[in-house]
Structure 1
Amino acid sequence: MTLERKIANTFHMDEETWTRHANPWSFWTRFTVLPILILAVWSRTWLGWWSLAPIAIALLWTWINPRIFAKPQSTNHWASKGVLGERVWLNRDTVPVPSHHQQIPNVLNLVSTVGMAFVIWGLVALDNCFALLGCALVYLSKLWFIDRMVWLYEDMRHTHPQYQSWLY
């Protein structure tokens, strides 16, 4: 089982949730999660223990975001195909992906992880430069990753009947 599938299982991403997450509104509003979480954690400086409330709200938003939007009328959008590509990527242990798609997503996930380390350090040290640098690394690598997932989906959509059914 891929790490990505374990993470998806942790978030209880079933077929219906993935379909809703392919809605471009879900995709784009997902980018609000990190700034909201950063602000919530940073709020400890002025809210003290009460900052746990905005932190809980931020975590709830992380979980609820892929669920609150309707199934998209069409998945023929860059954002939707990025989500579909993520599904192909997490399924790569069952349906192998072409070799030219195997390394870059891992490198981009590593860059994103380094970015999150900067964010965490920035939050611990209350250093907004580290937090912003980390946030920039996370977003740049995530957007590049999604672009790679669109490419992966386009390359793989005709290789598996389930993948074909996702595009409408």
Structure 2
Amino acid sequence: MSPVSPYQVCVAFLTRVRADGRPEVLLGRKKTGLGSGNIVGLGGKIEPGENARDAIVREIEEESSLVVDPADLRQAGLVKFAFPYRENWSQDSTVFVGSRWTGEPAESDEVAPAWYPIDELPLDEMWDDAKYWLPTVLAGGRVLGDFRFGEDCRTVSEHELHDPHLLSAG
């Protein structure tokens, strides 16, 4: 694994099953900041004094107006991102998945949320790393991965997926 990044973030993927039985995931079009224009999971920076679980609950509410009980989130792994050509973008992201919340998703200043069928993820509009691990996480698996982005800061130039059992359950 790569060294711990000083920039710690968290991301969540909320899922539901439509009336016709088709599973969906809540993603959002990023409107500001890093990744603007991409479709992303809900999440953001872990603030001083917060743990990842507290931070993701706060971020979900800030970005979508949904309220999630921390106990209703499954910690699904850790993804480390290295941006050698933009070091200040490098970060470690704790990944969560959940299927219980209160409220209806609403657009925020940061994200325009929308439901997407899990079998038709918009991977070509997401960060390039998502194709390597997001389907596994949405299928109930876990991820422990290192991703290095190339000079364009958009394309994964190297990646390594590790045994997710090396992570403690969260």
Higher-Rg member (1/2): 1
| Structure with higher strand content | 2
User: Do Structure 1 and Structure 2 share a fold, with TM-score over 0.5?
Assistant: no
| Structure with higher helix content | 1
**TM-score normalised by structure 2 residue count:** 0.22
**TM-score normalised by structure 1 residue count:** 0.23
